[in-house]
Structure 1
């Protein structure tokens, strides 16, 4: 099968060797916006270890190195390293889909059709010894139907769009083009050149990487002098958005506030005003590892649109504006991008930043004809199939428990104690490792000071923010006063 490609038309400034903007159909915009639905753990895995995203990559490496005995289930390691996207059915309809995560399969009991309606039918996302209420084992694998990509995946088809070098996406019109050229100080059209290019999986992967690290990703991908993101670390040292502003931005949009708190024991170098490490229970790693399941769009939302990650904020802002211009397919699709949920049961009781999980309303076609033709599970309301047979609703089992369908639960087994370094490297506690940190920084024992802090949602948001852009997260959050971040200008009025 020939690999699919997307066609783009670029406008290039010949003298500056810079892409000013691209023109495309909805297929390219759909791919760009799909970045917002990707869990950051997936992004870290795709862009590779050489391009580190602050300390978030360190969290990822901590999970890789963690012995599974510290997890409630052996399968949880892969759920952090290969987190599912709540929009996976939609993204399967993308012209180019770079997410290599295995699609979710569901396991039911093997029954003859039609199914009985006298008891609830259970489904599991993992093959196991769990049993349905009818007594049979849940080991019959069934896929879920892909989303409808007709007339676009996220934005409406048959429209053309302008994508600027810093990934602002706008409906294509001459007025916007002239405004952009005016902003760039271009009055002579002879310096401009048109170029047609095609994008496959390799180019989209490069674009994802550059969208996180660069302010001009189109130029970096299509007119590269060298791949500046190889071996690069996202450590921008930018002015921080005030943590109270972030907490307010997040909680204003949530229906209920999160009042949980967590106790953290810090060991601080007095002379350097630096946290060497924190001694914590299982709750803190539970929270950090859960970050890897957060979609990029949710992170942007939590941080008030100021992540300091390349052009990610521009993509998010573009969805807001295109939604206002009736370019997004529906409110449901708009929410998938601006308020993406966690995939079912990836939420965590110990998470101080409560991002909601996608409510699954799984139904199965209770029809031997549909099953025989390959039509299995759908995500939607019960109703009738085309043969007039009723669909039956399934109850999805929470994999953190044996036979529970409610949300909640923990990933880490306990009780256990861990050390977390300033760059968020998580390890089981070892006093020898703690003393090695003192030797690493050439510090005497007398320089070490113990501090106890209580953290809630405000501090958790600050840790999330700092983990994207810093290599000294705990020091930045607990010892340094954050500064406010200025807003970036855009073509949107």
Structure 2
């Protein structure tokens, strides 16, 4: 992001009920709404990273914050390459070009880096992974970065939305075209008394956008949260076992097995012993765009403001107010970038192709992963995953120390065996967004449970 972009400020016209200390709604142009909709395009890992870099004490987002810290702390040797770990910590987005077109973006654009053999052979294979570069005429393993011609991104008036369009934004981030009309808007939002409302012009810059992003996760009324310092409202976690119809065929797929240790007296998961397949599944949460999470959970993440952004795209804004017919579908179901879906990624998501530039001079590698293994973690290795998704390599001492720190006697611990398939995976994903007891909330009462076999 350029300094000029970071210094830019939007002017937002805000209607506030001063008596109730509540934002009723705001009116803005397409450029500010584009920034709001860009939240849906950001991978979860990119969001956590941006918040961590901006705030001295970054907000806690469910169990994702602990999971991200665990990922950062896992030894590089546990990954197939250092790049594999970096992909998870700072994942790319299919919308990198659009970030450069926004009037103000919370993240820097990350163009794809392509690699080739260091020799002068013009027919060599180009890849995004250093260990997939293949040259038929040169045995050298030394690779260099190449710069392919990429269309320069220029700031646009409408990136996701149509040029010159204007919108009404509710306190909980429902977005309506201004043409909807004030009477209809007031009715839709349940505003009973406009006589107490006062209008203000509010300047919105980079810091305010970051506050709004944070508020979207920790408050049901993000505009009041960051404009009026309203107290954070609790976010409830509504558990559901419903699998979207389009995912039903995936339910019977292969499942991962966990050994889960439960505190009997509190019916609470203490920790699970898991192999690298389950831990990699957890880490791949970070490559999923927020809109992809909304798609997987059918707009029911239990994060009201983000659910409302997705609902706005699907139902409220209207097709003619997007800058193209394709953009609406891309926001509702964003793809993952090429090479980010591992063999342990249980979710039915799609990834972008390898060759966006169709550059004829090079042959692009279609291999989807470093070392061609289809995975991030090297394995095999066992991990201990606590209820709040803190992950560490397991050893007997660490398990005993954990119980001693919690002052939990072994007599109060029960071991069960559970299986994780698509249904359970969706429950864990949902719980990770809002709960610091993700395994208990997602699994304890919904998983098929199988008692471990005892030896004779």
TM-score norm. by structure 2 comes to 0.87
Residue correspondence of structure 1 range 38-437 to structure 2 within 5 A:
38-48=42-52, 50-100=58-108, 102-108=110-116, 122-126=125-129, 130-133=133-136, 135=138, 138-142=143-147, 144-146=150-152, 150=156, 152-173=158-179, 176-182=181-187, 183-188=190-195, 191-224=196-229, 236-240=235-239, 242-243=240-241, 245=242, 247-249=243-245, 251=247, 259-322=253-316, 324-363=318-357, 391-392=360-361, 394-396=363-365, 398=367, 400-402=369-371, 409-437=374-402
Contact 1:44 1:52 in 2 (8 A): no
Aligned partner of 1:444 among 387, 396, 409:
409
Q: What SS does the aligned partner of 1:75 have?
A: helix
Contact 2:30 2:164 in 1 (8 A): yes
Q: Which residue of 1 aligns with 2:451?
A: none
Shift of 1:139: 1.1
User: 1:148, 1:133 → 2: CA distance?
Assistant: 39
Shift of 1:205: 0.9
Shift of 1:103: 3.5
User: 1:355, 1:398 → 2: CA distance?
Assistant: 18
Q: Which residue of 1 aligns with 2:435?
A: 470
Contact 2:129 2:369 in 1 (8 A): no
The Cα offsets for residues 246-300 of structure 1, whole Å up to 9 and x where unpaired, read as x225616x9x777121111112222222222111111011100001111111111
Contact 2:131 2:370 in 1 (8 A): no
Q: Compared with structure 1, are the counterparts of its residues 108 and 8 closer, same or farther at alpha carbon in structure 2 (3 Å cutoff)? A: farther
Greater helix percent: which structure?
2
User: 1:129, 1:466 → 2: CA distance?
Assistant: 37
Shift of 1:425: 1.0
Q: What SS does the aligned partner of 2:417 have?
A: strand
Contact 1:258 1:354 in 2 (8 A): no
Q: What SS does the aligned partner of 1:196 have?
A: strand
Q: Compared with structure 1, are the counterparts of its residues 195 and 127 closer, same or farther at alpha carbon in structure 2 (3 Å cutoff)? A: farther
In angstroms, what is the RMSD of aligned CA positions?
2.7
The total of aligned residue pairs comes to 434
User: 1:129, 1:341 → 2: CA distance?
Assistant: 23
Which ranges in structure 2 are unaligned for 5 or more consecutive residues? 448-456
The Cα offsets for residues 126-179 of structure 1, whole Å up to 9 and x where unpaired, read as 556834456485413315334576451111111111111111111103x53213
Shift of 1:218: 1.5
Contact 2:9 2:205 in 1 (8 A): yes
Stretch moving more, 350-359 or 290-299: 350-359
Contact 1:279 1:418 in 2 (8 A): yes
Contact 1:363 1:394 in 2 (8 A): no
Q: What SS does the aligned partner of 1:24 have?
A: strand
Q: What SS does the aligned partner of 1:321 have?
A: helix
